[in-house]
Chain A
Amino acid sequence: MPAAPTVEAMMLGKLDWSAIPFDQPIPLIAGGVVLAGILAVLIWVVVKGHLPYLWHEWITSVDHKRIGVMYILLASMMLLRGGSDAIMMRIQQAIAYQSQGYLPPEHYNQIFSAHGTIMIFFVAMPFVIGLMNLIVPLQLGVRDVAFPTLNSVGFWLTATGALLVNLSLVIGEFARTGWLAFPPLSELSYSPGVGVDYYAWSLQISGVGTLVAGINLVTTVLKLRTKGMNYLRMPMFCWTTLASNLLIVAAFPILTATLAMLLLDRYLGFHFFTNEAGGNVMMFMNLIWAWGHPEVYILVLPAFGIFSEVVSTFSGKALFGYRSMVLATMAICVISFMVWLHHFFTMGAGPDVNAIFGIASMIIAVPTGVKIYNWLFTMYGGRIRFATPMLWAVGFMVTFIIGGLTGVLVAVPPADFMLHNSMFLVAHFHNVIIGGVLFGAFAGFEYWFPKAFGFRLDERWGKLAFWFTFSGFYITFVPLYVAGMLGMTRRMQHYDVAEWRPWMIVAAIGMAVLSIGVICQIMQLVVSIRNREALRDRTGDPWDGRSLEWATSSPPPVFNFAFHPDVRGEDAYWDMKIAAQQQSLEHEEPEYHDIEMPRNSPTGFVCAFFATIMGFALIWHIWWLVILGSLGAFATFVVFAWRDHDEYVIPAAEVAAIDRVNLEERRNLVSMAGAI
């Protein structure tokens, strides 16, 4: 008979002073530093009087460009967090030969779980979603996304998830189960702490945000295109955005359902994945990978789109095989839902099941190969400029082919039986995720930075960053392939095999080189901001681009385009430039009209505030606070639904004034090009 709950237990649930890890210096110091940093920034913002600006122009903004920038900022911060986890792991494995190293097992396990969770959900996802948010409406020639306020809600919910994961550093603990929290280890009987709850609730909350972003972008691409922007005239990045977001919409509900089942097991004693009462552990693997495999294509498809834009721009040619590229993208979109079993070949399905999924996994390499050839043929005969974005693109092609080939290797079930859960696998997926997604994100960052902020990034530091990251990547991960071949399994806190040791040391050195790459990237940002006047992009078209985002000024006005552009073919902006050079430059001034834009709204921020409270309360079993949080979130939506004016008008005169400046710069550009 349990004792009646005390008042404290009712008020605070499982939360008490033992949740703060006073006995573990590393998380405490790390948490303290982060907290001090946040406090310092907050104080600086308040003292300098930037708070009203931040609130009105950024936090409550429903402008897709601002939200995109905030997504990318979140991803960059989390990249530093996930990167420091990676550094700690590499150091641990370099020194933990026949010794315990410096990280105790329970801490090491939290680090690799947090590293995976953060890198996928709070670095890769927000980075690509941010770039899509920023660029897709511009490329489609429209003024905003389909659901601007929901867009803001989606971003802030993602930020809530990131906040909760980082909160686990100082209050309680994070999961020790790996980034997918496989049961039965993640069940209550084996993980009684709050770690798995932190993991599951932060993913549930940020998952809602991702779903909202997905619905928003699918609707934007399908329903909001400018006049004449037929499907087969959309830039490649819009196609990959469509495919990726279709996958988000179809796959993320699977993650939500699976984590809901795990949470029901943990909170209410259900038996989905338990060992007792007929629960089935394998069903978790099955369901989570039915989400997990589409997820990797959710991440890499937008990167493919970015490379398509970059390769075509910096080769000075239209994309080779545009239609085959579209077909390959949509083929990947569908086939990615038919291969998930290759993540658990070894778990006892029969040979026929393994064979079919193995073949499907090899087939999906075909459309990817089509893409690689298309990029190569785009470069062939082109006038190639090796600016930083192009370097990332070429580096990607080399790296991704290696990662793809090791992928085809592990798609063969008998080979997978040897390599499953080995360091070879770790090397493989870092090979495709760093070489594909992260290189893509960096290429997009360098390529579209001038569009977002109005000045270019410093090329010298950019190239240094590329070369350090590129070589650092190989020095880190090629040794991991070798260690995998030598039989080393993943997630080892220490080991006794002498042959692995040298490779672990090389990998740690590689990690140091990679870190120099990251530092160069930060330096690039600092140097560029300092020299921003010299790097200013006045024309809005710094790279001699081909698609519509380059047809407006940098940074674009809040309404993006004074007129919806009328599109007549692929490479819409390139055609306009050619036409403008051939015709006389003296256009008569068009007649400007008032433009209606959505009003800013704190809905997203307030909603995320209540979601944070709710998530925290659920993790610590503080039930009254859960009820309060959910009531608050509902009330926020009702208040939002009640408002009478959701749009404001930008008068025609103001539109004209902004547009004239841009037109003037553009005429200068065209006449200069004509003179040459």
Chain B
Amino acid sequence: MSDQTHMHVEHDIAPGDEEQHSVGERIIGYVVGLGLALLLTATSFFIAGTDLVWQPSIPVALIVLAIAQMGVHLVFFLHITTGPDNTNNVLALAFGLLVVFLVVGGTVWIMSHLNQNMPPMDQFIRMHS
């Protein structure tokens, strides 16, 4: 194995840390993030209260907007990037999100099935009376 190139790399940076930026650039990052977040929030509240859009699309739109806003927060406030110095941070986040998705998705799926096959007692009584 003597023909391998040995390369020394730097550590990942801490989650929340930014690569070297001046104070001005950092402030601009937060301002942009705040602007985008406010815009997305306003859109969410507007969509929820309006009848201008096709009603069945509203829940999907709200979820998409929420995910987009979480992304904005992660990028502009928590400074999570896809850079090579962020691998561990992103992997941990991905694992966490996978578990969140499995727990929430699994629970909703399983419980809706249980409710269908074995409805709670009051519904059961209503169905048969």
Indicate if A touches B (C-beta under 8 A): yes
Cβ of A350 and Cβ of B99 under 8 Å apart? no
Query: Among the listed stretches A340-348, A447-455, A509-517, A579-587, which one makes contact with chain B, having 4 or more residues with CB under 8 Å of it?
Result: A340-348
State which residues 95-121 of B face A: CB under 8 Å. 95-96, 98-99, 102-103, 106-107, 109-111, 113-114, 116-118, 120-121
Which residues of chain A are near B113, meaning CB under 8 Å? 349-350, 352-353
Contact with B along A330-371 (1 / 0, CB 8 A): 000010011011000001111011000000000000000000
State which residues 203-227 of A face B: CB under 8 Å. 222-223
A348-B99 in contact given A278-B120, A290-B106, A340-B106 (Cβ < 8 Å) = no
Q: Tell me if B88 is interfacial: C-beta within 8 Å of chain A.
A: yes
Partner of A282 from the list B98, B103, B111, B122 (CB cut-off 8 Å) is B111
Q: How far is the CA of A340 from the CA of B103 in the complex (A)?
A: 10
Cβ of B99 and Cβ of A349 under 8 Å apart? no
Identity of the chain A residue whose Cβ is nearest the Cβ of B116 in the assembled complex: A350
Q: How far is the CA of A349 from the CA of B118 in the complex (A)?
A: 8
Q: Tell me if A51 is interfacial: C-beta within 8 Å of chain B.
A: no
Cβ of A349 and Cβ of B117 under 8 Å apart? yes
Cβ of B118 and Cβ of A348 under 8 Å apart? yes
Identity of the chain B residue whose Cβ is nearest the Cβ of A257 in the assembled complex: B103
Partner of A337 from the list B11, B102, B110 (CB cut-off 8 Å) is B102
A347-B99 in contact given A222-B88, A290-B106, A353-B109 (Cβ < 8 Å) = no
- Tell me the smallest distance from the CB of A671 to a CB of chain B, in Å: 28
* Count, chain B residues at interface, CB 8 A: 22
Q: How far is the CA of A337 from the CA of B117 in the complex (A)?
A: 24
Cβ of A280 and Cβ of B99 under 8 Å apart? no
Cβ of B114 and Cβ of A347 under 8 Å apart? yes
Q: Tell me if A426 is interfacial: C-beta within 8 Å of chain B.
A: no
Which residues of chain B are near A519, meaning CB under 8 Å? none
Identity of the chain A residue whose Cβ is nearest the Cβ of B107 in the assembled complex: A286
Which residues of chain B are near A350, meaning CB under 8 Å? 113, 116-117
Max chain B C-beta neighbours (<10 A), residue from A278, A340, A349: A349
Partner of B117 from the list A222, A246, A254, A348 (CB cut-off 8 Å) is A348
- Tell me the smallest distance from the CB of B56 to a CB of chain A, in Å: 25
Cβ of B110 and Cβ of A353 under 8 Å apart? yes
- Tell me the smallest distance from the CB of B94 to a CB of chain A, in Å: 11
Q: How far is the CA of A167 from the CA of B111 in the complex (A)?
A: 37
Q: How far is the CA of A278 from the CA of B126 in the complex (A)?
A: 14
Cβ of B114 and Cβ of A282 under 8 Å apart? yes
Q: How far is the CA of A349 from the CA of B1 in the complex (A)?
A: 55
Cβ of B114 and Cβ of A348 under 8 Å apart? yes
Cβ of A341 and Cβ of B110 under 8 Å apart? yes
Q: How far is the CA of A246 from the CA of B96 in the complex (A)?
A: 9
Cβ of B96 and Cβ of A283 under 8 Å apart? no
A337-B111 in contact given A290-B106, A348-B117 (Cβ < 8 Å) = no
Identity of the chain A residue whose Cβ is nearest the Cβ of B12 in the assembled complex: A223
Q: How far is the CA of A286 from the CA of B105 in the complex (A)?
A: 12
Which residues of chain B are near A290, meaning CB under 8 Å? 102-103, 106-107
- Tell me the smallest distance from the CB of B103 to a CB of chain A, in Å: 6
Q: Tell me if A663 is interfacial: C-beta within 8 Å of chain B.
A: no
Contact with A along B66-99 (1 / 0, CB 8 A): 0000000000000000000000100000011011
Max chain A C-beta neighbours (<10 A), residue from B1, B96, B102: B102
Q: Is the interface of B mostly helix, strand, loop or mixed?
A: helix
Q: Tell me if A523 is interfacial: C-beta within 8 Å of chain B.
A: no
State which size class the interface on A falls in: 20 to 34
Q: Tell me if A250 is interfacial: C-beta within 8 Å of chain B.
A: yes
- Tell me the smallest distance from the CB of B21 to a CB of chain A, in Å: 23
Which residues of chain B are near A340, meaning CB under 8 Å? 106
- Tell me the smallest distance from the CB of B14 to a CB of chain A, in Å: 10
Which residues of chain A are near B88, meaning CB under 8 Å? 222-223
Q: Is the interface of A mostly helix, strand, loop or mixed?
A: helix
Q: Tell me if A287 is interfacial: C-beta within 8 Å of chain B.
A: yes
Q: How far is the CA of A206 from the CA of B99 in the complex (A)?
A: 22
Cβ of B111 and Cβ of A286 under 8 Å apart? yes
Q: How far is the CA of A250 from the CA of B1 in the complex (A)?
A: 38
Cβ of B114 and Cβ of A349 under 8 Å apart? yes
Which residues of chain B are near A531, meaning CB under 8 Å? none
Q: How far is the CA of A280 from the CA of B118 in the complex (A)?
A: 11
Cβ of A337 and Cβ of B99 under 8 Å apart? yes
Partner of A280 from the list B98, B103, B106, B111 (CB cut-off 8 Å) is B111
A287-B107 in contact given A250-B95, A347-B118 (Cβ < 8 Å) = yes
- Tell me the smallest distance from the CB of A643 to a CB of chain B, in Å: 23
Identity of the chain B residue whose Cβ is nearest the Cβ of A348 in the assembled complex: B118
Identity of the chain A residue whose Cβ is nearest the Cβ of B96 in the assembled complex: A250
Which residues of chain A are near B96, meaning CB under 8 Å? 250
Q: How far is the CA of A33 from the CA of B107 in the complex (A)?
A: 46
State which residues 309-347 of A face B: CB under 8 Å. 334, 337-338, 340-341, 347
Which residues of chain A are near B114, meaning CB under 8 Å? 282, 286, 347-349
- Tell me the smallest distance from the CB of A586 to a CB of chain B, in Å: 25
Cβ of A254 and Cβ of B109 under 8 Å apart? no
Cβ of A283 and Cβ of B103 under 8 Å apart? no
Cβ of A286 and Cβ of B99 under 8 Å apart? no
- Tell me the smallest distance from the CB of B89 to a CB of chain A, in Å: 10
Identity of the chain B residue whose Cβ is nearest the Cβ of A294 in the assembled complex: B99
- Tell me the smallest distance from the CB of A357 to a CB of chain B, in Å: 9
Cβ of A283 and Cβ of B117 under 8 Å apart? no
Q: Tell me if A84 is interfacial: C-beta within 8 Å of chain B.
A: no
Q: Tell me if A668 is interfacial: C-beta within 8 Å of chain B.
A: no
Partner of A334 from the list B98, B117, B121 (CB cut-off 8 Å) is B98
A250-B111 in contact given A349-B117, A350-B116 (Cβ < 8 Å) = no
Which residues of chain A are near B98, meaning CB under 8 Å? 334, 337
Given contacts A275-B121, A287-B107, A338-B102, 12 further A-B contacts (CB under 8 A): A282-B114, A286-B107, A290-B102, A290-B103, A337-B103, A347-B114, A348-B117, A348-B118, A349-B110, A349-B117, A352-B113, A353-B113
Question: Nearest 8 CB-CB pairs, A to B?
Answer: A348-B118, A250-B99, A349-B113, A348-B117, A282-B114, A353-B113, A350-B113, A337-B102
Q: What are 21 A-B pairs with beta-carbon distances under 8 A?
A: A223-B11, A250-B96, A250-B99, A275-B121, A278-B120, A280-B111, A282-B114, A283-B111, A290-B102, A290-B103, A337-B103, A340-B106, A341-B106, A348-B117, A349-B110, A349-B113, A349-B117, A350-B113, A350-B117, A352-B113, A569-B1
Interface residues of A (CB under 8 A from B): 222-223, 246, 250-251, 254, 275, 278, 280, 282-283, 286-287, 290, 334, 337-338, 340-341, 347-350, 352-353, 569
Interface residues of B (CB under 8 A from A): 1, 11, 88, 95-96, 98-99, 102-103, 106-107, 109-111, 113-114, 116-118, 120-122
